[in-house]
């Protein structure tokens, strides 16, 4: 059923006071869908009324799915008892996420209504730097000891599992909480009850550090097809895990960020329609300004060649084509390299192979484009469009410029992202708009250089 | 340890004939790492030798991680018995993936060496269209009946689970294989042994159809935080599941595709360094050609205004700046909308809200850029750079063009992707390079229109 239909139905039921039906309809849905539905309810009071119809478990899971605005409004309307009920049910990493986005007064109320153990866990997550593995991990995992039997393990899982976000990967730790092994519920289920964990646990445990980048953690999790990635501190003690659903969210957020940077936008994780006009302006204006101001260079180049242009005005007509072709070629190279860097397909050490490949691709692309352009100029633009100023030499200047600028564009496009990464910047900012600005200037210099040489103007 | 160090160590051990140590070192690694290491082994024969040192389970899991080239070479060097051993251990969906990429002779050998049941399963996956949910699902899942007890369920999992890619989500089907409920191993572990599945299973089961897009399947899986997404046929019979690790791979591939399309590249899923020069050329040249040829329009516009440019040559100097600013502004809008569409944040019905928002953002961006540009022209370009042709009226023409072109660029940038989606095309092709070409032409017309009006040339 579509969201709008469902919204209509639920509002009708509410208006005709069939509250039990509303309750059933809501609680039958998946929390992600309940959240979407309730966010579409216009009236604040009605939304709260609906929320209160949810079962304890659904309420908590739905609450986590809301956006931060809705969460804040709901918290304001909660009694302390209600707030405590929701907080008791949600996982510590989700609670930490929410707290990070709330104003100080709300944070105070949240922390007041959690028990001291949870409060401590939340605080320990909050102290990790933004975008670190520590900041997205949950301290709730199943830990076993190596001398346990399978039966002991199941007992422990049954006793403590209800509070854990995932129970399927179990971590084996020693007395000082060092991570020494890992096993899975599947392994446990397929073993005999009196088998000892130590005998079949995997001892080559892959883990990452609390201070590693959260993107690295997520990429590694995906590389090894894990359901959870263990996170250890500097002393190699297990302090938490990152679950696969959070890893997917991180990967998607990082992809969005990369795409925004490539399009010369300052990254933001607020959904488009929820961002205000001023907010959107703030994300877009810095790069527009910078790139506009850098275009002073192209203006200066054109001004200095003004007399040549006056002598042969037809040259002006092809400036946009040349600049776009250069920009597009450079953009193709830079975006390919940026993506490959982010997927870990190429490394700093590959730079010479990359450049060598791009030079060859550029030559093939440049020559094929130049041939087509030459044919178009001589067989279409000149005779059909009647542009009589196009001579063989003019066409030659234009086509040679295409080859030269594409080679320059591809070399610049593939090297800048790698250098950016080397210097510790995000390669994604070295994408099309930035490359275009540089390639523009080079293309113009090549163009006028060749024009002076071949056309002797 | 770094890959290169490990490679060195393993080659040394091999050369000094410490084969048992090589075997231990290899088998202690995770299959994803073994695959990376073996692919870095230069000599073909040595790689096969190393591969044969792997345990049966590691061999199969490593084989799946290899790229298709390596897989093909290995298959050629396998005896039939070896091939059968590997094939018996790998999951059906992985086997189908491999078969899709192999030449006919290899496919024949593979199918000859699988038992008839597996062969049938592979064939049923292969018949689904590329990029459909059916094409990436695995038919190996745990199915339960509603009247089973928890104890029965565990017996069934223990008996059949070893062959299943994931056992953690269990699907409840009726006699005609309709999907009627779902539960998890966690739920089962936390229930009593004599509880009946029907009493606690989730009956509001979210599933997708075999013919749905694989990207939709993966996005939904992530939205609901599932470990597997059930796939049903047209009669709502459960035919397979998509596991979370495959869903992540699909999301990453789709992201790469979107990014490539945005950069005017025909999408490819071959890693950069493994793509040949000619292959890369083939992916890049179509858009370059199309965009170069469409630039004929800008050439024509400039040619038709040649006399005006001759009267006031300073106007030429700002053409690159105006075109880049327009292109960048349009690109920001289009890329934002393309990403929001792909994340499901906006829909066709939001088009008026989107356009209204972009118009306001464009006005704020346009006015702020114009103000800065005006100041730069009058306070820097004219007095400092000595460009005496810049008059108040010329600056006015340039700055008004900025405002007008940004508004046009943002409107075009936000509407084209939405229309593309409506017409069933991928919105991602409506990104910067495409928008730039259109915005270039409009900007030039606005520029010369304003110049005629204000400067009366």
pLDDT along chain B (457 residues), means of 10: 83 91 91 90 89 90 89 89 86 86 85 83 85 90 94 91 85 94 93 93 92 94 94 92 94 90 84 87 90 89 86 89 92 91 86 93 95 94 85 94 96 93 86 86 93 87
Three-state SS letters, A114-166:
CCHHHHHHHHHHHCCCCCEHHHHCECCCEEECCCCEHHHHHHHHHHHHHHCCC
Q: How far is B99 from chain A (nearest CA, A)?
A: 21
Express the helix, strand and coil content of chain B in percent, nearest 5 each.
Answer: 70, 10, 25
Comparing A275-284, A290-299, A328-337, B110-119, the range with the smallest average pLDDT is B110-119
Contacts 24+ apart (CB under 8 A), B200-206: B201/B146, B201/B172, B203/A28, B204/A28, B204/A29, B204/A30, B205/B171, B205/B179, B205/B180, B205/B181, B205/B230, B206/A30, B206/B230
Averaged pLDDT for residues A419-430: 86
User: Is the alpha carbon torsion for B178, B184, B187, B190 positive or negative?
Assistant: positive
Express the helix, strand and coil content of chain A in percent, nearest 5 each.
Answer: 70, 10, 25
Length of chain B: 457
Q: Find the closest chain A residue to B184 by CA distance.
A: A168
| In the predicted structure, residue A405 carries a pLDDT above the cut 70 | yes
Mean pLDDT over each residue of chain A, to the nearest integer: 90
- Judged by CB atoms closer than 8 Å, whether chains meet at B206 and A30 is answered as yes
Nearest to B140 by CA among B110, B156, B160, B159: B160
Cα(A320)–Cα(A343) distance, integer angstroms: 34
Structural contact between residues A19 and A53, judged by C-beta atoms closer than 8 angstroms: yes
Burial class (CB in 10 A: 0-12, 13-18, 19+), A170: buried
Structural contact between residues A451 and A404, judged by C-beta atoms closer than 8 angstroms: no
User: Going by C-beta distance under 8 Å and a sequence separation of 6 or more, which residues neighbour residue B325?
Assistant: A288, A291, A292, A295, B369, B402, B405, B406
Burial class (CB in 10 A: 0-12, 13-18, 19+), B89: middle
pTM comes to 0.84
Name the residue with higher pLDDT: B388 or A361: A361
Three-state SS letters, B338-394:
HHHHHCCCCCHHHHHHHHHHHHHHHHHHHHHHHHHHHHHHHHHHCCCCCCCCCCHHH
Neighbour tally for B55: CB within 10 Å: 12
- B353 and chain A: CB distance < 8 Å anywhere? yes
Q: How far is A345 from chain B (nearest CA, A)?
A: 7
Instruction: State the DSSP string of A85-112.
Output: HHHHHS-HHHHHHHHHHS-HHHHHHHHH
Structural contact between residues B315 and B309, judged by C-beta atoms closer than 8 angstroms: yes
Which residues in chain A have their CB less than 8 angstroms from residue B327's CB? 324, 327, 433, 436
Cα(A98)–Cα(B82) distance, integer angstroms: 53
- Judged by CB atoms closer than 8 Å, whether chains meet at A293 and B167 is answered as no
For residue A206, give the DSSP letter.
Answer: -
Structural contact between residues A309 and A316, judged by C-beta atoms closer than 8 angstroms: yes
Listed ranges A60-74, A155-169, A415-429, B241-255; the one with the highest mean pLDDT: B241-255
**Tokens standing for B112?**
């000859």
Distance between start and end Cα atoms, chain A = 71
Q: What is the pLDDT of residue A313?
A: 86
Q: What is the pLDDT of residue B404?
A: 96
User: Is the alpha carbon torsion for B183, B188, B189, B190 positive or negative?
Assistant: positive
Cα(A208)–Cα(A408) distance, integer angstroms: 40
Distance between start and end Cα atoms, chain B = 71
Per residue in A184-197, pLDDT (tens digit) is 999 999 899 999 99
Nearest to A288 by CA among A272, A266, A316: A266
- Cα atoms in the 13 Å half-sphere on the side-chain side of A144: 31
Which B-chain residues 152-171 have CB contacts (< 8 A) with chain A?
A: 154, 157-158, 161-162, 167-168
Q: How far is A105 from chain B (nearest CA, A)?
A: 30
- B128 and chain A: CB distance < 8 Å anywhere? no
Structural contact between residues B413 and B337, judged by C-beta atoms closer than 8 angstroms: yes
Nearest to B23 by CA among B34, B8, B39: B34
Cα(A403)–Cα(A362) distance, integer angstroms: 8
Q: What is the pLDDT of residue B373?
A: 95
φ/ψ of residue B53, rounded to 5: -80, -10
- Beta bridge pairs of residue A243: A228
φ/ψ of residue A445, rounded to 5: -65, -45
**Tokens standing for A89?**
């049910």
Q: What is the pLDDT of residue A1?
A: 59
**Tokens standing for A289?**
């300004």
- Judged by CB atoms closer than 8 Å, whether chains meet at B369 and A292 is answered as yes
Quote ipTM for the complex: 0.83
- B225 and chain A: CB distance < 8 Å anywhere? yes
Which residues in chain B have their CB less than 8 angstroms from residue A259's CB? 258-259, 262, 335, 339
- Judged by CB atoms closer than 8 Å, whether chains meet at A190 and B248 is answered as no
Q: What is the pLDDT of residue A233?
A: 92
Instruction: State the DSSP string of A325-372.
Output: HHHHHHHHHHHHHHHHHHTTS--GGGHHHHHHHHHHHHHHHHHHHHHH
User: Going by C-beta distance under 8 Å and a sequence separation of 6 or more, which residues neighbour residue A221?
Assistant: A228, A229, A242, A244, A247
Q: How far is B176 from chain A (nearest CA, A)?
A: 24
Averaged pLDDT for residues A416-436: 87
Q: What is the pLDDT of residue A364?
A: 95
Using CB atoms, pick whichever of B157, B259, B306 lies closest to residue A259: B259
Cα(B191)–Cα(B172) distance, integer angstroms: 16
Per residue in A83-109, pLDDT (tens digit) is 888 888 888 888 888 888 888 888 888
Q: What is the pLDDT of residue A362?
A: 95
- B193 and chain A: CB distance < 8 Å anywhere? no
Which B-chain residues 36-75 have CB contacts (< 8 A) with chain A?
A: none
Cα(B300)–Cα(B323) distance, integer angstroms: 16
- A107 and chain B: CB distance < 8 Å anywhere? no
Cα(B441)–Cα(B299) distance, integer angstroms: 9
Share of chain A above pLDDT 70, in %: 100
- Cα atoms in the 13 Å half-sphere on the side-chain side of A152: 13
Per residue in A325-356, pLDDT (tens digit) is 999 999 999 999 999 988 888 888 889 999 99
| In the predicted structure, residue A163 carries a pLDDT above the cut 80 | no
Structural contact between residues B331 and A294, judged by C-beta atoms closer than 8 angstroms: no
User: Is the alpha carbon torsion for A258, A259, A261, A266 positive or negative?
Assistant: negative
- Judged by CB atoms closer than 8 Å, whether chains meet at A306 and B296 is answered as no
Instruction: Give the rounded distance of the alpha carbon of B290 from its chain centre.
Output: 24
How many residue pairs from chains A and B have C-beta atoms closer than 8 A?
A: 352
Per residue in A26-78, pLDDT (tens digit) is 998 999 999 989 988 888 889 999 999 999 889 989 999 998 888 988 898 88
- A429 and chain B: CB distance < 8 Å anywhere? no
- Judged by CB atoms closer than 8 Å, whether chains meet at B321 and A295 is answered as yes
Structural contact between residues B268 and B283, judged by C-beta atoms closer than 8 angstroms: yes
| In the predicted structure, residue A14 carries a pLDDT above the cut 70 | yes
- Cα atoms in the 13 Å half-sphere on the side-chain side of A220: 20
């Amino acid at each position: 059923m579509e969201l709008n239909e469902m919204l209509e139905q639920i509002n009708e039921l509410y208006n005709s006071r069939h509250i039990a039906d509303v309750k059933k309809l809501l609680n039958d849905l998946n929390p992600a869908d309940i959240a979407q539905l309730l966010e579409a309810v216009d009236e604040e009071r009605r939304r709260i009324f609906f929320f209160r119809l949810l079962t304890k478990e659904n309420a908590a899971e739905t609450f986590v799915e809301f956006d931060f605005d809705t969460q804040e409004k709901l918290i304001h309307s909660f009694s302390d008892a209600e707030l405590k009920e929701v907080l008791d049910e949600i996982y510590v990493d989700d609670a930490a996420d929410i707290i990070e986005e709330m104003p100080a007064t709300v944070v105070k109320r949240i922390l007041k209504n959690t028990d001291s153990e949870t409060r401590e866990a939340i605080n320990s997550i909050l102290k990790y730097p933004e975008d670190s593995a520590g900041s997205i991990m949950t301290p709730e995992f199943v830990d076993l000891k190596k001398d346990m039997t399978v039966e002991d393990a199941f007992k422990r899982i049954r006793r403590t599992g209800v509070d854990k976000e995932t129970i399927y990967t179990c971590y084996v730790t020693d007395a000082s909480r060092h991570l020494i092994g890992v096993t899975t519920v599947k392994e446990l289920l397929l073993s005999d009850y009196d088998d000892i964990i130590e005998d079949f646990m995997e001892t080559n445990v892959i883990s990452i550090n609390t201070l590693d980048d959260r993107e690295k953690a997520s990429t590694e999790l995906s590389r090894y097809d894990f359901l959870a990635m263990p996170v250890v501190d500097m002393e190699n003690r297990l302090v938490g895990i990152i679950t696969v659903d959070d890893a997917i969210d991180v990967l998607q957020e990082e992809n969005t960020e990369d795409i925004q940077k490539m399009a010369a936008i300052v990254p933001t994780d607020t959904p488009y329609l929820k961002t205000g006009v001023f907010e959107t302006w703030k994300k877009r204006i810095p790069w527009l300004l910078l790139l506009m101001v850098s275009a002073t260079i192209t203006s200066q180049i054109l001004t200095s060649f003004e007399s040549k242009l006056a002598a042969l005005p037809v040259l002006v007509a092809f400036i946009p084509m040349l600049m776009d072709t250069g920009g597009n070629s450079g953009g193709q190279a830079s975006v390919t390299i940026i993506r490959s860097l982010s997927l870990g397909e190429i490394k700093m050490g590959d730079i010479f192979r990359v450049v060598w490949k791009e030079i060859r691709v550029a030559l093939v692309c440049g020559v094929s484009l130049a041939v087509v352009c030459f044919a178009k100029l001589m067989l279409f633009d000149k005779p059909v469009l009647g542009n009589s100023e196009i001579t063989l030499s003019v066409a030659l200047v234009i086509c040679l410029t295409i080859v030269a600028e594409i080679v320059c564009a591809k070399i610049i496009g593939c090297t800048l992202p790698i250098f950016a990464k080397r210097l510790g910047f995000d390669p994604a900012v070295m994408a099309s708009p930035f490359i275009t600005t540089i390639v523009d200037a080079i293309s113009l210099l090549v163009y006028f250089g060749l024009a002076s040489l071949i056309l002797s103007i």
